[in-house]
Amino acid sequence: MSDKYQGFVSTPIGKVLVKNLGLPAPVKLERYDEGAPLVDGTVLVGGTGRLAESLPGLLDLAGVSSTVSVAEGQKVKGLVFDATSLKSADDLVALRDFFTPVLRSLESCGRVVVIGTPPELAKGSERIAQRALEGFTRSLGKEIGRGSTVQLVYVAEGAEAGVLSTLAFLLSPKSAYVSGQVVRVGAHGKQDVPDLADWTRPLAGKVALVTGASRGIGEAIARVLHRDGATVVGVDVPQAASELQGVMKELEGDWLSLDITATDAPQRIAHHLKEKHGGVDVVVHNAGITRDRKLANMAPSDKGDRWTSVISVNLTAPELITRELLDQKVIKKGGSIIGVASIAGIAGNVGQTNYAASKAGVIGLVDAFADELDDDITINAVAPGFIITQMTAAVPFATREVGQRLNAMAQGGLPIDVAETIAWYANPASRAVNGNVVRVCGQMMLGA
């Protein structure tokens, strides 16, 4: 499942063609290796907002080295600018004044994070200035190049202590395929964040449920959550029982073989988690299917009913399972619920009205529950773009190439990219991150 084009453009003849024809030249993205430093380099911190003074100390807690100035010729791995002090349109010039002199100091696969105040919590000219940060960061993300990423983190007043897990994720190789995103911290009032004894195993002692866990993105999610210390309970259909058991045995986890659309599936899952594990801390609704066809050709008589089957697996089942786990109080205090949406649910896609509706519904699930959940339970979602899997490998060559190149990274993502984003949501230190939908798409150029 390698990217053959990316391999070609790194050859001598490929480099010549890229230069002369103006072809995309995707950089090999740096991804996190277990045991490696979270950030392999120094982060330059700037700005005069309400987080500026505390940022170096916060980053130090996660083992991230930072500085407030760079010497001529010095390279840095990340740039963090606190823009919470910008109160008017005239103040936006501070962005240019900070970034322009130091952007060329950023190493390949560098990280840029701008911190702001949620515009909806500001008024007048300050609201205007803070909303402008979105256009700035998204545009910079599309021009920065060399495998680097740019993000905007809106931090509500009083939630400053809850920003560290988000900064640690966005500044690290774990966010390799995440760019141009807006993350809100503390926007839904859940702001009490526990101290982590071990940032390398934040899920130690936790139980995580992952649906569709036998292969692909689901398997990657299970592996990353296990790496972070969780006991993983994998769920998949009976047809995938052998693969599921193999993965779970390797991870020293548990498994449940069932169809999540079955009438009794929510009750069976809840019973299993209560009886064998005393509850669950992380719930990942990853299971999903596609049954593509243009709407005009999607007759109810289709084998398997393309519409109903997709909605049932991708949307109805996650909602019913979530409600059952909540009603029976199976999800523990401080737990997290994570849905897997899709770029298709945001931008739409030809021949995928059923799939796009289901994935937009997952975003609706996040919106519906974000303000309702008690006991500090959070709910968020990821929206993957073109992720290289066995399923996408079967897509026609031309369609696959377009899907991989039309983003700021000029390449497809990997299942690990989705898994790392989910692990950030699941981290107990992400308690203040609630109601977010983050796209894992290399910052698509069109539609989203």
Q: What does the H/E/C string look like for the chain?
A: CCCHHHHHHCCHHHHHHHHHHCCCCCCCCCCCCCCCCCCCCEEEEEECCCCCCCHHHHHHHCCCEEECCCCCCCCEEEEEEECCCCCCHHHHHHHHHHHHHHHHHEEEEEEEEEEECCHHHCCHHHHHHHHHHHHHHHHHHHHCCCCCEEEEEEECCCCHHHCHHHHHHHHCHHHCCCCCEEEEECCCCCCCCCCCCCCCCCCCCCEEEEECCCCHHHHHHHHHHHHCCCEEEEEECHHHHHHHHHHHHHCCCEEEECCCCCCCHHHHHHHHHHHHHCCEEEEEECCCCCCCCCHHHCCCCCCCCHHHHHHHHHHHHHHHHHHHHHHCCCEEEEEEEEEECCCHHHHCCCCCHHHHHHHHHHHHHHHHHHCCCCCCCEEEEEEECCECCHHHHCCCHHHHHHHHHCECCCCCECHHHHHHHHHHHHCHHHCCECCCEEEECCCECCCC
Is 321 in contact with 265 (CB distance < 8 Å)? yes
- Name, in order, each residue with C-beta under 8 angstroms of 239's C-beta and a sequence gap of 6 or more: none
Catalytic annotation, residues: 355
Specify the pairing of strand 280-285 against strand 331-340: parallel
Q: Which amino acid is at 16?
A: V
Sign of the C-alpha dihedral, residues 305, 307, 310, 314? negative
In the block, residue with structure tokens 């052998």: 242
Amino acid at 432: A
CA pair distance 435, 255, nearest whole angstrom: 28
> Residue 90, class by beta-carbon neighbours within 10 Å (0-12 exposed, 13-18 middle, 19+ buried)?
exposed
Sign, CA torsion 396/402/407/408: positive
